[in-house]
Structures are given as C-alpha cells and as structure tokens.
Structure 1
Amino acid sequence: MVCSVIAKKNDRVFDFVRVKDVFVSIGLKTAVDFEGEISRLEGEARNQAGTGGLIVVSNIRNLVSLLTYSKSMVELDVDSRGFPKEETCSTSQQQRSSTSFPDEFRCPISLDLMIDPVIVASGHTYDRNSIARWINSGHHTCPKSGQRLIHMALIPNYALKSLVHQWCQDNNVSLLDDHSSSDSSSKTKTSSSSTAGAVDHISVTKSAAEAAKMTAEFLVGKLAMGSTEIQNQAAYELRLLAKTGMDNRRVIAEAGAIPFLTSLLRSSDARIQENAVTALLNLSIYDNNKVLITASGGAVDSIITVLETGKTMEARENAAAAIFSLSMIDGYKVSIGGRPRAIPALLGLLKEGTTAGKRDAASALFNLAVYNANKAGVVGGGAVPLLIEALMDDKAGITDDALAVLALLLGCGEGLEQMRKSRILVPLLVDLLRFGSAKGKENAITLLLGLCKDGGEEVARRLLMNPRSIPCLQSLSSDGSLKARRKADALLRLLNRCCSHSQHSVNMGN
C-alpha cells in the first residue's frame, strides 16, 4: 500500500485523503507522531547503510520523504486535494466563488480568482497567498507541473493582474480580501498569520539584492527563449523592475538583458517594442548602463528608429527620453548628435508628440546642442520656428524647455539670425518676463539680451517700442533672481545706450 502511494507521489498524483487514512490506521495522527516515525526511519537508514544495500536505503529515504511531505500537510490542515485549506470565506470571496469567471484567472491551488497573481520559476502563475503558503511549508516544486523550482522568487504578473481587475470591474465583482474588510483587530490577526505567511519566501530567506538578481536572470531567460507573449511579459516585468533602484538596474544589465531588449526594439509587436524601449530607458538611468547600451550593437540606432517610426506614441516618446538619458554623458552627445537621423527624429517628435513627448524631445535636443558641433544640425533641421511656435501654444506645456533650447542656440550664428528675423519672438519674450516661471524669466531675459547685443540694434529698437518692455525689465531688475537681475540691468543699460544713440542721430540730422 505504501509503495503504491510512493509511486503515485513520484508520478505527481497524490491523494492525501487516502494516504491519511493509511497513516491513521498505523497510529500516525499528529505532527508529533510523524516526527517520531521520521526519526526512527532515519536511524534505520543509517543502520542499513552498511549492510542493507542501496535499494533498502533508497526505499527508506522515499518513506522519509513521504512522511515529511505528509507531516507538512497535516500541520497545514489540508483539504481533499492535498492543498492547504483556505480561511473562512469573506463576503467578497463568497461573491467571487458564486460568480463564473474565466479559467485563466483561476489559481491552480485554491481554484479561486487570482487577486495578486505571481509567476514562479517554472513559468506558471498562482495567487500570491496560495503559492507562498505552499513554499513556506517547505515545498520546492511547482504544484502544477511538479518541476523543481530553481529559485523561490515570486514575480508579479502585472499583465494578468490588470486583466483580472478589469474583468472584476466589468462584472461588478469585489476584490476586497478578508483583511481589507475586517476591523483593525482582525487585520492584526490576519497580518500575523496568513498575510505574514504570504510574504515572498525570497524576501525572508534571501537579501533583496539576491532576489533582484535571480528575478533578473529568470526574466532574461524568458527574453532569450520564450514565445512572443512570454517575451512581452518578461520585457514588461524588466521595465517595472528597472524603474526603481540603481541596484535593480545594475543586476538586470549584469544578467545580460540589454542585447535581448535591443533586439526586441525591432519587433512587429507594438507592446513588445514599447516595453523594450521603456526598459532600456529605465536601465539607462544608471550611468554604467549608458556605456553598455551605447556599446551594444545597434542599440542607439534601434532607439532612433523607434523614435522615428515607433508603433505607439509612448514608444516614440520613451525613445526620446532614452536619447536624453544617454546624452547626459558628454562623449555620447557627440556620437548621438553625429547620427544623421537623430536630430530630425527628435524634431519630428517635438512637432507631433504629446506634452510629455515634446518635453522629452526638447530635453534631448538641449543635451545634444550643448555640444557646439550639434547646434548647426539642430538649427538646420528647423528647430527655431518649432520652438517659437511652442512658446505661442499654451497647451503645448513646454515653455521653459523651449526657452532653454532657444537660449542655447544663441551660440549658433544661423540660429541667432533666425531668431532676430522673427517678428513675434520679442513680444512673446516680453510677456514671459511678466508671466513666466522664475526659470522661464531667466531664459527670456537671456534671449532678449543675446538678441539685442552685438549687432542686434534692430531688435533693441523693437523692444523699446513695446510699451511693456521697460516696466517688465525694471521689475525683474529689482525682484528677479540674481541671474535675472544681473541680465536685466545689462539689458537696461544697453537699451539706454541705444536710446541715447538714436536721440543723438536725430539731433545730428536736425
């Protein structure tokens, strides 16, 4: 009888109710009974090791394994399927139980709706509480496949969680758990028992850094060998993992994610492309990863391609943000700006993007234009009229960003000339002296001063003709930031000289 039970256990079919009846019949009813029998069998195994041969010892070890497994089930008070019994159902749980929901939303352990789905090393998904209880009871195999888990990390399945929550919302099904609907004393009790037991096993037994490392390696493996859907999910999880913490960004790169994410930028699947470029953006925040990304074959060019023709606007905007992040390093300002498609692609997004996208594009253009050789490319691509147009459009929401880039382009002769020829720029800048942010006022006065000096007499005359200009400059000279006050004073002196010169010319003419 016991041998048949062992055979079934090895075949991953385990009828615990039948086994329990057998154990009760031979006096094994409590955990203490099991511990005593296990101790006796282990002693017998040691005695037989020298005389009984490998087969006898192996059979004893199988019995010990079975008893150890069964002891944990007794301690957990299992149900007829061999899985831990659930707590008494709350109203919301009863509601979920009485509602027919898709099988793919059902936890293989509890058969209930997965409120917090997580992925284990085998690739199967379970509800967090159920699989955590399984692991914390000493099991190191996947309940569904029987496969041994190479690590105990529980990786949130955000995609499935989103689908579950959407389904519940559409079907008026509550997602509240027992501990979220009970009083404070119940919460305390729950958190000290089931909730405490549901904490990721890895967080208890491993350091956070080791957990992140194993998670990253697991996800990179899925990037390398998974189906399209699995690759998308892995890229999404890496995107989220890389969003917080420099250590996470480091271990993801060390796990080899960057080349695989780079290859996914060329995917025809819009979701994969968006998740891959966003993951690379988040990874690039860590400076060492900037080096790895730019050194990865074709990564920068692929990011530029997404920026140009990405399948979603979010992918294009995050590609621009990645260019901005990478160009924080001076050497990469040169290499990125020298690519013929980079600046035109950023200018395209500056024209077509959302507010966030335009801001990302303007920030990236600013970084690239810091390097003098890139200024001509930015101006030649048509940046000046686009930036002035952004100043006119309150809905664009990038006034300060546009001003910063224009101020930088004063250092390009062609850019300066285009700004001086604009008939609408000066009135816009005067208005910004009145209503702009502190940073906006600084850049506005920087632009006005740059436009008026060194051959900008015509701009100075237009400025003097604006009735609001002098009061605005005087106000800024007294109430602005130190930088703004200094430049306002300089511009007032320049305008005074211009006015005196004009008056002198008039007198000479008379």
Structure 2
Amino acid sequence: MKTFSGSKQQRKREMGSGAKQKQLPKWKIHFEKSPKQKIQPPPEFVCPISGSLMVDPVIVSSGHSFERNCIDACKSLNFRPTLPDGSVPDFSTLIPNLALKSAILSWCHSTLFTLPPKPLDFCSAHNLVRTLLLASRSQQKPNHQLSVFSSQETEPTRTPSQVSTSSEESVTAAAVISGPTTPLPFTTRPSCCCSSSSSSDIESSNHPSSLEEDEFATKLRSSQVFEQEEALLSLRKLTRTQEESRVNLCTARLLSALRPLITSKYASVQVNSVAVVVNLSLENRNKVKIVRSGIVPPVIDVLRGGFPESQDHAAGALFSLALDDQNKTAIGVLGGLPPLLHALRSDSERTRHDSALALYHLSLVQSNRVKMVKMGSVQVLLGMARSGHMTGRILLVLGNLAASAEGRGAMLDGGAVGYFMEMLERENFDWDSTRESCVGALYGLSHGGLRFKGLAKEANAEEVLKKLEEMGSERSKEKVRRILEVLKQKDEEEEAVDWEELLKSDEEDASSGRGRASIR
C-alpha cells in the first residue's frame, strides 16, 4: 500500500510538473510579443508630407490623403510636393476623409498605438512645408546655400528641420525627407543634413555647462575679432541641430553679448551673429525673450543696409519672431515694417519671400495694418501684384489689410476692386490658393459699403463671381456667395443712388484720400 501510495504521489507530481511545462510556452509567447513602441502605422495612415500618423485626414482632388494643416500650409506657400510615386497632388478641393479617420482610430485601438492628442498645428506644418520647398530648391541648385527656419519641436526625439548656414563655414544645408520613423518642426518634420564635413564637428553634449556659457560670453565680448568669430561659429553649430542647446544658450547674458556684434563691420561676424539669432528663435519659448533683449533694432538695421547674406538672415529672423503673437506689435513699434516692405524688392529671392511672410504675420495685428497704410504700402503691394511679383504672398498681405477700415479705404482708392476682378476673369492662376487669396481680399473689400458696390458694378463683378461659385474650396465658395449677396442687396436708399455720379466723386476723392493717409 505504501509503495502504491508513493508511486501515486510521484505520478501526481510528474503530472503537475508536466502541466507546468505545458504552460511555459504560453508565457513565453506572451512575453516575446513586440512592444507597442515597435509597431509602425500602415503607410496609408501616414501623411506623405509630415511623415506622421494622421489625426485630421482630408482627401484632395487627386485622391491622395493628407493632414489638413499640411495642405493649408502648402497653399499658403504656393507649393505642391512631388510624392514618392512621382505624382503631384491637386489641392483644389479638400474633403474630410471620415472613413480613413475611423480606420486609423480602429487600428490604434486594436494595436494599443497611441494616437497624437491633436492634429499638427498650422505653424509647425507651415515651417515643415517651407523646409520641403527649400529642399526642392537645393536639389535644383546644389551649390546654393540655404537659410531655413522652423518653429517648435513637437516631439523630444525629433531634430530641427530648418537651420541657418553660412558661407563663412562653407556649410550647405540639404533637407532630406525620410520615412515616418525619421526624426523630424513636427512626428512631423524632416531632418536636415549638412553636406559639408564641418557638420561632423557639431558637439553632442546635451546641456551646456555654466563654464561653456562663461567662455562664450567672454569670447563674444573680446576685442579680438578672431575670438568673436570662433565663438559665433561654435554657437551656430550648437544651435543648428540641438534643441536643448538653443534653449539653454538663449540667456540674457549671451543675448546681451551677441547684440552689439549684429551690426559689426566685419562680414563674418555680422553674418554669423544674425544666423545665431535665427537658430535661437526656432524655439517658441525663446521668441519673446529675444525681442525683449533688445536684439530686434540691430536686426532691423542689418535688413536696411547689412551685408547681402546678413539681410537674408535678418528677414528670416523677423519672420520667425513674428510668428509669436506677443511679438507682432513690438516689431511694428520698433520700426520693422518699412525695411520689410522695402526688402520685397531685394535681389535675393530668400529675402523677398521671408519679408513677405513676415509682413503677412505682422499685418494680422490692427496697429500694424494702420502703420502699413500710412506708409503707403497698399500702393506698393498693388503695384507688385499687378506686375506678377510674388502675387500669392502679396495677396495674402492685402487680404489682411482689407480687414481694416483704413486698408479698405486705401485699396478702394487704389483701384483694387477692378484689379481683382481682372485677375479672377483671366482664370489663369498658377495655384488655386492664389485665386482663393484674391477672393479673400475681395471679400474684405465687400464691407466697404456703397463705394465697393459702385466699383464692383463698374467692373462687372456679379457676372465674374457667378462663374466662381462652384470653384475652389468650400470657404472660397462661401465668400463668393456672400460677396454676391452684398451686391444684390437693394434698399430704397441704394435705388436712389446715381452710380455714375458716385464713381466720379470717388475718382476725385481718391488722390486727396491718398494724401490724407500719408500724413496721418
């Protein structure tokens, strides 16, 4: 009996041991599953522009899907990217892709993949697209040196896509677009690779120590130009790609030491000083700090009469700083508007475009609109638009000016209604966004009351606008419909108006109105 009992207990232990052994593979399989961090989204869920999972996908006329703000940014910059398959998307129509959004949400739920809490913001998308635009130009002109600017980093592992380079360092920047897992202003922006060997000298330290800050400050304040150059080149390398360095080196002490070097008579010192300002301004948290440090006035002086490459960087610095709402009024008060307007006719394409974008953001503020009208910018901008000079960007600025009573008055005096109608009637826009910008500016003018109606009637606006009711985005169509409603509104007072007499009086008042605006 004992033997039997013993053998029975032994069999039970063996069976228990066997059961445990059978369970081992299950636990092994469980722990060998790939962690969710290694899961990559399907390519169709990734925006071709941002390289990240789409949160607010839209489908365009060509059938491609993108993150909404990436399309808006492409339109604002008149840029259409070439996709990996060689096709060029058509952005004329945007429709929310609800089916794709639902599929993305379902996939995230089933794979435990964390979807970004909100879509890519427009500011980040704008700078990302600007990087792609400059990258395409660098591929066309490999020897052309670029200066590009980005806003905030949206992910700690991302590297900035837009940096300043200098002929003093013989560094050429080339933006390289990689796949969805490539560190990107934005899971979300392409990384920037320097083709020069000097880029390998970029330091890899995470936090500049107080000793490093002391050394930079001492060299920047040195009376020896070669020491200033050495410090500026090191600062430029550090701030080109390292977010933490841009944050930690943007101190009141270093900004104070940097400020007098911006207007240096030595080209290398001036160029690299302004380039450092650009790099530091890439971080949103630095923008207000830089303006408050007193650096904007010397940057404006450089834009007025600095070395050509310094002017490129100065326009970019003002554009970057103008992205922060707290800086817009300050830049206008400090005198940034006149040199930016003058820079629209610069020989440098980069200076022209950055100046136009800076004016666009600055003209979002009413006080700056009034200043721009008083200094005669409406006539200058209308003349440039008529000549086909950066028409898309100029129309964006005019659209902002048309949102104010002062701007509307100057534009009505300057013949803007007739010009806009001629543009819309020709229907030969290179970009749909240019047509929409023209409609937007005309919509702003439609708040001009009887003067607008008289001028619009003379320009045969109703007939032209009816053709546009079914063209462009929903926002553009809605604006066209509202303009038509304004033109169709009739009341007893309007019926009694002698339009010919009104137009004659408008023409007589135009010259005197312009004179009054110039002395306000």
Question: TM-score if structure 2 supplies the norm length?
Answer: 0.51
Q: Which residue of 2 aligns with 1:416?
A: 408
Q: Aligned AA for 2:295?
A: A
Q: Report % sequence identity.
A: 26
Give, in whole Å, the separation in 1 of the partners of 2:403 and 2:409: 11
Residue from 297, 302, 307 that aligns with 2:303: 307
For 1:409-462, what per-residue CA distance to the aligned partner results, in whole angstroms no more than 9, with x for missing partners? 1233332112112236533454257233333222211222232344244x4444
Q: Equivalent residues in 2 for 1:27-66 (5 A)?
A: none
Q: Residue 283 of structure 1 contacts residue 289 of structure 1 at CA under 8 Å; is this kept in 2?
A: yes
Check the 8 A contact 1:261/1:276 in 2, yes or no.
yes
Report the CA distance shift for 1:407/1:345 in structure 2 as closer, same or farther (over 3 A). Answer: same
Are 2:403 and 2:444, in contact at CA under 8 Å, matched by a contact in 1?
no
Deviation at 1:405, TM superposition (A): 1.3
Distance 1:248 1:201 in 2: 15
User: Does the CA contact (< 8 Å) of 2:356 and 2:394 recur in 1?
Assistant: yes
Q: In structure 2, what is the equivalent of residue 355 of structure 1?
A: 349
356, 365, 385: which one aligns with 2:359: 365
Q: Is the 8 A contact 1:399 1:440 kept in 2?
A: yes
CA distance in 1, matches of 2:417, 2:443: 13
Which residue of structure 2 aligns with residue 435 of structure 1? 428
In 2, distance between residues paired with 1:500 and 1:327?
47
Could you tell me which residue of structure 2 aligns to residue 276 of structure 1?
273
Q: Determine if the alignment matches structure 1 residue 259 to structure 2 residue 256.
A: yes
**Residue 402 of structure 1: which of 394, 397, 404 is its match?**
394
Note the C-alpha offset of 1:245: 4.1
Q: Secondary structure at the match of 2:263?
A: coil
Alpha-carbon shift at residue 486 of structure 1 (Å): 0.2
Shift of 1:265: 0.9
CA distance in 2 between partners of 1:502 and 1:332 (Å): 44
Matches of residues 115-194 of structure 1 in structure 2 within 5 Å? 162=170
Q: Which residue is 1:286 aligned to? A: 283
Q: Unpaired segments of 5 or more residues in structure 2? A: 1-164, 173-198, 499-520
- Structure 2 residue identity aligned to 1:358: R
Mapped to 1, the partners of 2:371 and 2:252 lie a distance apart of 37
TM-score by length of 1: 0.52
Q: 1:498 to 1:281 in 2, by over 3 A?
A: farther
Q: Secondary structure at 1:480's aligned position in 2?
A: coil
The counterpart of 1:244, out of the listed 226, 238, 241, is 241
Distance 2:272 2:497 in 1: 65
Q: Deviation at 1:502?
A: 8.5
Q: What letter is aligned with 1:316?
A: Q
Task: Report the Cα distance in structure 1 between the residues aligned to 2:351 and 2:453, rounded to whole angstroms.
Answer: 35
Q: Deviations over 1:465-503 (max 9, x none)?
A: 556x55653343213111101011112233344799999
Q: Which residue does the alignment assign to 1:376?
A: 370
Is the CA contact (8 Å cut-off) linking 1:202 and 1:211 kept in structure 2?
Answer: no
1:444 corresponds, among 407, 415, 438, to 438
| Distance (Å, rounded) in 2 between the aligned partners of 1:317 and 1:431 | 31
Question: Are 2:478 and 1:486 equivalent residues in the alignment?
Answer: yes
**1:319 to 2:311 alignment:** no
Matches within 5 A, 1:51-130: none
Looking at both structures, which has the greater relative contact order when contacts are Cα pairs under 8 Å and sequence separation is at least 6? 2
Greater helix proportion: 1
Tell me the CA shift for residue 273 of structure 1. Answer: 0.9
Amino acid at match of 1:326: L
Contact 1:350/1:386 (8 A) holds in 2: no
CA RMSD of aligned residues (A): 3.8
Distance 1:425 1:260, change over 3 A: farther
SS at match of 1:209: coil
Bigger Rg, which one:
1
Q: CA shift at 1:332, angstroms?
A: 2.0
Mapped contact 1:265–1:306 kept (Cα < 8 A):
yes
